[in-house]
A and B are shown apart, each in its own frame.
Chain A
Amino acid sequence: MTTAWEDARRPRIVAIDGDFPGARLQRMWETAPGLKGWISSVDHKEIGKRYIVTAFVFLILGGIEAMVMRWQLAAPNQTLLTPEQYDQLFTIHGVTMIFLYSSPILTGFSNFLWPLLLGSRDMAFPRLNALSYWIYLAAGVFIYAGFVTGNGPNDGWFNYVPYAAKTYNPGINIDVYALGLILLGISTTVGSANFVVTFLRTRAPGMSINRVPILTWGTLTASVANLLAVPSVSLAFFLLWMDRQFGTQFFTADKGQPLIWQHLFWMFGHPWVYAIVLPAMGMVSDALPTFCRRPLVGYTPVALATVATMALGFGVWVHHMFATGLPSLALSFFSGASLIITLPSAVAVFAWTATIWTGRPVIRTAFLFFASMIVLFVIGGVSGVMTGSTPVDWQLTQTYFIVAHIHYVLIGINVFPVAGAIYYWFPKMTGRLLDERLGQWNFWTMFVGFNLGFFPMHIVGLMGMPRRIYSYAPEMGWGPMNLVISLGALLFAIGVLLLVVNVAVSLKRGCLAGPNPWGAPTLEWSIPSPPPPYNFAVIPTIESRHPLWEHWLNESPAPSRLTEGLLLDRGRETIATTPFDAEPNLILEMPADSFAPFILSCGLSLGFAATLFHLWWVAALGGLIVIGALVDWFWPRRVHADMEAANG
């Protein structure tokens, strides 16, 4: 596979002809079989699928936790759980859903889809991609190891001090959470850097930034936000850990400032909420139009709204802190900011609705998930507006109204689009379609169950039920509504189970999909399902937003060229292009499969686990493993000077 070093070349332009050049590329890009290949693979499609499966497992775990809590709350004064068990359950449920499910599932889809959408053969940093997954898995296992041994986080997912301080929480529960989240933050950060550089540098020639799918805008925005926001929460947890282990004075009541925890947490937390919905909104923006048989209405406003949402999202963190005793001028300002952020969301809602009205929708399960998401999004949105109004929020905050809001946001704008995305892209991932009949059952069970389970939470919240209580007295009058909620949640859980069943059944028995079962417009549908390891046999050249619909839409003067393009076959190669106009400017050499990411994550996990128990020498050993993996990672396999020598 190695070829003579070369400094530069003019790549040939060839047409795909049967096995040419696929057969040769297959040998270069294929991952070795067996465990060895599984651990060392850097294929973005493999990593993407692993992300999706792992995140879905966490969704199911979080769902089981929720069902146990709903059993406890279904009637007043139940004693299925002790208070401490309930506290760990609602905390791990939040941590699981917010950190271990909702962001990673979108990372999984983006990982799988991005190079396919952008006409590239992999992400900009394939090994970093693998590293991101392994650390994510390690962080999840780390936090769950605490939970199953009874040492899980127990102060809610936003972990307010001083209850999280050593004085009030002497166990290792909070340390597990702190170190686990710092570990996860590393995964998120390297993954985000990878998306940013991939977006800027590895789009197919001609795919200028006004031609990329909205999903990539969503993930790009989320990734930039993560780069800027994750340090805040990692820092907060680091400082808390220092307070707990070494007696620093950051959050102590007498010498420090308990309130700064909330600032640091929500300066991260609010952008994070947008980071876990914007890519999902992008999925809807890209896939809903396919079923409506027309391009998305208002591509440019929607793309700009995506970016604007996040820009504003950095300025509204205080609306989680309206009751902390801030001056009213600040309250008015942050109320205003929280209301203005509605505008870009409204742009997306109008764009989707207009797309339905000016298209000819074909009703499929995926479409139902995407279309229903519009309504769920609006419900989560207006309840968000209500909490943005300070005087109203003084009543709503910390009640089940907020629980309803966050679930309409996270289930409505994340789980529903993700379920739709599974129906939509499953054929691309596996080559087989999911069953439509079962799919309709799946959708309606989830939709009815969700609304039955979560809409009454608004009402029980207006009836004054606080969140995070393990039990309540019958005279509060919350009992009947809670029973409805629990039954609705059960129905919703059955709906999710139907999705799992459909996937399990269709993996083997689903109808063969072919490259483009939905007649969709974007690049991933131009290649076989499932895609070959090298994605594109030749690098396509893009002339419009809808390369596969050009014969219908006549958008561009020249057609995109998908079966004829640059031949890059001297090793794992792909094209790098300029950030805005996507002019080719470099032939990228992609790394081979590597054990370094896996070993690095093992060393890092060992280091974190040892740090938890103050086993400093073991932690140092973990550090050495990390350094060893890095040495291997950055070992100069190509000697630049040799390259020039070989070329004379």
Chain B
Amino acid sequence: MGGVAAIALVLGGSPEGALSSPMSYLRTLGPRADPATVLLWGMIALSLAVVAIIAVAVAAGIVARRRPGSVDSFADLPAQRGTGGLAWFWVGMPLTVIALVGILVWTVAVLATIDSPKARPRLTLEVTGRQWWWQVRYLSDNPAEIFVTANEIHIPTGEPVLVKLVSADVIHSFWAPVLTGKTDAIPGQINVAWLQADRPGRYHGECAEFCGIEHARMGLDVIAESPATFEAWRRGEMRPAVTPSSALEATGEEVFAVHCAVCHSVRGMGLPVVRRAGEHGIVGPDLTHLMSRETLAAGTVPNTIGGLSGWIGNPQALKLGAQMPKTYLSGSELQAVVRYLETLR
């Protein structure tokens, strides 16, 4: 079995390859994930040892004890009551008990360590799972400092961040493997997770609970930045959107108000929004600072001019089943609205 593992590793790249996958949790970075990762490695080692011992025992038993020569008829093969078999229990069971008790103690210890952060988190986020993207609300005691973004979660390094998980529709599961294991977002209840990144970086995550046809395209990124960089970003996000400064941008804003604002919000937009009853502008992500994000559609499309135009033109071609319908904008409307969106920095 070890051989199989080795073959699989070689074919799949190298152990290093496995570690460097953006979603791999064989190497984690942060106090929420690390203790569990050590336990994971411990259990992998123990598991491989157990498998190796039993595999060798079975294989060696067959080789050592196999009846020599060919057997034509079982009728002549007497059955005997061999002795000493019970010794396997007397040796094996205590070892099993010891291993399990060890794992249990370790498990409970890790659970206690990562249950809650050491320091009181200063930053609390409310992350809402939606089919099929993440709405992220930065909470604050000061209403003016609350803002909403999507899919890309900026956090400061070196401090714990509390994440309140809710769902707007079905069950999703929040998972950024390098920083934290999974916590479900379940409608009707609030689950609390926390994470902490000790080094700046972009940490990828995915929805981990099957949530419908685009479950595969429900990525998120946690972007850990130095506290100063994070604070600058936060200040930027709190600002309302800029007003258009050219005719093309103004046209774009009008197109947006008519065609897009039904589902998307832009804070501080000057134009009245066309919405029917029951529509509330949060079907899709808040776009106030769209250009501060690197991807669109929960990690599906790069946020470039080409990506943006392609996505707005026909979202279903890129993410079949996404809630965003084909917009049927004319070429000039599309150009204008993209121009407008590009101002949302």
Given the interface pairs A83-B214, A375-B1, A464-B21, the reply to whether A350 lies near B92 with Cβ below 8 Å is yes
Minimum Cβ distance to chain A for residue B96 (Å):
5
Rounded to whole angstroms, the CA-CA distance of A350 and B35 in the bound complex is 32
Is B216 among interface residues, defined by CB-CB distance under 8 A?
yes
Contact of A294 among B40, B79, B214 (CB under 8 A): B79
Is A468 among interface residues, defined by CB-CB distance under 8 A?
yes
With a CB–CB cut-off of 8 A, which chain B residues contact A471?
Answer: 216
Interface size, A (range): 35 or more
Contact of B39 among A392, A518, A519 (CB under 8 A): A392
Q: Establish whether residues A374 and B54, one from each chain, have CB atoms under 8 Å apart when the complex forms.
A: yes
Given the interface pairs A343-B100, A552-B80, the reply to whether A301 lies near B22 with Cβ below 8 Å is no
Rounded to whole angstroms, the CA-CA distance of A390 and B40 in the bound complex is 11
Given the interface pairs A163-B171, A258-B186, the reply to whether A363 lies near B111 with Cβ below 8 Å is no
Contact of B210 among A82, A160, A253 (CB under 8 A): A160
Most B Cβ at <10 Å: residue of A357, A394, A469, A521: A394
Task: Write the B23-44 contact mask toward A (1 if CB under 8 angstroms, else 0).
Answer: 1111000000101110110011
Rounded to whole angstroms, the CA-CA distance of A215 and B213 in the bound complex is 42
Is A579 among interface residues, defined by CB-CB distance under 8 A?
no
Rounded to whole angstroms, the CA-CA distance of A293 and B66 in the bound complex is 11
Give the residue name and chain of the A residue nearest to B192 (CB). Answer: A325
Give the residue name and chain of the B residue nearest to A483 (CB). Answer: B11
Is A349 among interface residues, defined by CB-CB distance under 8 A?
yes
Rounded to whole angstroms, the CA-CA distance of A296 and B48 in the bound complex is 27
Give the residue name and chain of the A residue nearest to B89 (CB). Answer: A350
Q: Establish whether residues A391 and B110, one from each chain, have CB atoms under 8 Å apart when the complex forms.
A: yes
Is B243 among interface residues, defined by CB-CB distance under 8 A?
no
With a CB–CB cut-off of 8 A, which chain B residues contact A339?
Answer: 100, 103-104, 107
Rounded to whole angstroms, the CA-CA distance of A325 and B193 in the bound complex is 9
Rounded to whole angstroms, the CA-CA distance of A469 and B12 in the bound complex is 19
Minimum Cβ distance to chain A for residue B90 (Å):
9
Is A430 among interface residues, defined by CB-CB distance under 8 A?
no
Q: Establish whether residues B88 and A389, one from each chain, have CB atoms under 8 Å apart when the complex forms.
A: no
Contact of B111 among A84, A390, A472 (CB under 8 A): A390
Q: Establish whether residues A353 and B209, one from each chain, have CB atoms under 8 Å apart when the complex forms.
A: no
Is A459 among interface residues, defined by CB-CB distance under 8 A?
yes
Contact of A371 among B58, B100, B115 (CB under 8 A): B58
With a CB–CB cut-off of 8 A, which chain B residues contact A382?
Answer: 43, 46-47, 50-51
Is B271 among interface residues, defined by CB-CB distance under 8 A?
no
Q: Establish whether residues B184 and A325, one from each chain, have CB atoms under 8 Å apart when the complex forms.
A: yes
Q: Establish whether residues A343 and B97, one from each chain, have CB atoms under 8 Å apart when the complex forms.
A: yes
Task: Write the A371-394 contact mask toward B (1 if CB under 8 angstroms, else 0).
Answer: 110110011001101100111111
Contact of B66 among A258, A363, A375 (CB under 8 A): A363
Most A Cβ at <10 Å: residue of B65, B131, B216: B216
Complex interface: stretch among B70-78, B226-234, B282-290: B70-78
Give the residue name and chain of the A residue nearest to B43 (CB). Answer: A386
Is A311 among interface residues, defined by CB-CB distance under 8 A?
no
Contact of B58 among A168, A353, A398 (CB under 8 A): A353
Complex interface: stretch among A129-137, A328-336, A491-499: A328-336
Residues from 337 to 367 in A contacting B, C-beta threshold 8 Å: 339-340, 342-343, 346-347, 349-351, 353-363
Q: Establish whether residues B108 and A293, one from each chain, have CB atoms under 8 Å apart when the complex forms.
A: no
Is B119 among interface residues, defined by CB-CB distance under 8 A?
no
Task: Write the A445-481 contact mask toward B (1 if CB under 8 angstroms, else 0).
Answer: 0000001100110011011111111111001111011
Rounded to whole angstroms, the CA-CA distance of A470 and B212 in the bound complex is 11
With a CB–CB cut-off of 8 A, which chain B residues contact A346?
Answer: 92-93, 96
Given the interface pairs A346-B96, A389-B43, the reply to whether A477 lies near B13 with Cβ below 8 Å is yes
Give the residue name and chain of the A residue nearest to B25 (CB). Answer: A395
Rounded to whole angstroms, the CA-CA distance of A496 and B209 in the bound complex is 32
Is A297 among interface residues, defined by CB-CB distance under 8 A?
yes
Task: Write the A502-514 contact mask toward B (1 if CB under 8 angstroms, else 0).
Answer: 0000000000000
Is A517 among interface residues, defined by CB-CB distance under 8 A?
yes
Task: Write the B151-194 contact mask toward A (1 if CB under 8 angstroms, else 0).
Answer: 00000000000000101011101010100111110111101100
Rounded to whole angstroms, the CA-CA distance of A259 and B185 in the bound complex is 11
Contact of A398 among B5, B18, B182, B187 (CB under 8 A): B182
Is A298 among interface residues, defined by CB-CB distance under 8 A?
yes
Task: Write the A288-302 contact mask toward B (1 if CB under 8 angstroms, else 0).
Answer: 000011110110010
Q: Establish whether residues B23 and A476, one from each chain, have CB atoms under 8 Å apart when the complex forms.
A: yes
Rounded to whole angstroms, the CA-CA distance of A481 and B10 in the bound complex is 9
With a CB–CB cut-off of 8 A, which chain A residues contact B110?
Answer: 391
Given the interface pairs A357-B85, A375-B58, the reply to whether A469 lies near B216 with Cβ below 8 Å is yes
Residues from 202 to 261 in B contacting A, C-beta threshold 8 Å: 206-216
Rounded to whole angstroms, the CA-CA distance of A429 and B181 in the bound complex is 51
Q: Establish whether residues B50 and A353, one from each chain, have CB atoms under 8 Å apart when the complex forms.
A: no
Contact of A258 among B1, B183, B187 (CB under 8 A): B187
Q: Establish whether residues B11 and A484, one from each chain, have CB atoms under 8 Å apart when the complex forms.
A: yes
With a CB–CB cut-off of 8 A, which chain B residues contact A342?
Answer: 96, 100
Task: Write the A250-284 contact mask toward B (1 if CB under 8 angstroms, else 0).
Answer: 00011011110000000000000000000000000
Ordered by A's residue number, 15 sampled pairs between the chains whose C-beta atoms are within 8 Å are A160-B210, A293-B77, A323-B181, A339-B107, A353-B57, A353-B61, A356-B58, A360-B67, A382-B43, A391-B35, A395-B25, A459-B5, A464-B25, A475-B22, A477-B20
What 3 A-B pairs are tightest by C-beta distance, nearest first? A464-B23, A394-B181, A519-B74
Using A325-B183, A397-B208 as known contacts, list a sample of 15 further A-B pairs with CB atoms less than 8 Å apart, ordered by residue number in A.
A163-B170, A293-B79, A298-B86, A361-B65, A362-B66, A362-B77, A363-B66, A391-B36, A391-B110, A392-B107, A470-B216, A476-B21, A477-B13, A519-B74, A552-B79
